[in-house]
Amino acid sequence: MLRIEGLEAGYGSGKVLFGVDFQVPRGEVTAIIGRNGVGKTTTLKSVVGLLRASSGKISLDSQDLSRRSVHAVVRAGIGYVPEGRQIFPALTVLENLRVGQRRAPRTWTEERVLDLFPNLRRRIKNRGHALSGGEQQMLAIARALVTDVKVLMLDEPTQGLAPMVVKQIGDVIQLLKAENVAILLVEQNLNLTESVSDRILVMSKGKVVETLSIGQFKLDADRVHHQWLTI
């Protein structure tokens, strides 16, 4: 279980997160929703250590990951797929999977990951730039998995993708959940969010303002939408 307590962070002197608290259990999808600019991406960046938190605690199971390097956080089992599917366009699918790997994965081996993404297996020798947007997103997820993830954080994975591809991403999320991965999903597509999530966290102005089970969220979706998502 990933546990975030009292997380505060920002850019320079501008604070963005004002005490973020939440947990991400194994085998569940926890979604963060909220308007643009409330701090969703900043939260993910702070968890993975790309941004130095000014206070708060980040722990995975009983291991304290606060103030660790990105490398140490990733090695502990936290995978991060940033917005905009950042893959290496000049490298092949296989090279993308292997780049930066210091040791062979134990849990998520290349074979197992490629079983999950048959499209990528078919395109294993193709370069990143030759892939469709959906395939690039799958590759970005596959790359995060081969670091032996326990927690997978996805920042707007369906942005700009066709409905059929959005559904495929949803299927992958369901599969990973069944494999006991803890998933933290930041997503604008509420239909997808509803269909895969177990819990919904609503963020506003750098804090988690509501935590709803998916059942509660479905009953209260109109209110949540008007209160926290419309401009």
Ligand X SMILES: Nc1ncnc2c1ncn2[C@@H]1O[C@H](COP(=O)(O)OP(=O)(O)O)[C@@H](O)[C@H]1O
38 binds ligand X (CB under 6 A): yes
Here the tokens at position 165 are 């591809």
In sign, the C-alpha dihedral spanning 191, 156, 152, 114 is positive
Q: Which of 13, 36, 62, 230 binds ligand X (CB under 6 A)?
A: 36
Shortest Cβ distance from residue 27 to Mg ion (Å)?
Answer: 25
- 9-28: which residues touch ligand X (CB under 6 A)? 11, 16
Q: Which does 42 bind (CB under 5 to 8 A by kind): ligand X, Mg ion, none?
A: ligand X
Stretch that binds ligand X, among 19-27, 30-38, 98-106, 171-179 (CB under 6 A): 30-38
Cα–Cα distance measured from residue 31 to residue 184, given in angstroms and rounded to the nearest whole number = 6
Toward ligand X, which CB reaches closer, 18 or 88? 18
Instruction: Give the other-Cβ count within 10 Å of 103's Cβ.
Output: 8
Toward ligand X, which CB reaches closer, 46 or 96? 46
Toward ligand X, which CB reaches closer, 114 or 152? 152
Report yes or no: 77 and 150 within 8 Å, Cβ to Cβ: yes
Helix (H, G, I), strand (E, B), or coil: what is residue 183?
Answer: strand
197 binds ligand X (CB under 6 A): no
Cα–Cα distance measured from residue 65 to residue 79, given in angstroms and rounded to the nearest whole number = 13
Q: How does 222-231 read in b/e, with b if 16+ C-beta sit within 10 Å?
A: eebeeebbee
39 binds ligand X (CB under 6 A): yes
Binding footprint of ligand X, residue count (CB under 6 A): 10
Toward Mg ion, which CB reaches closer, 135 or 156? 156
DSSP 229: I
- Please give the residue ranges that form the binding site for ligand X (CB under 6 A): 11, 16, 34, 36-42
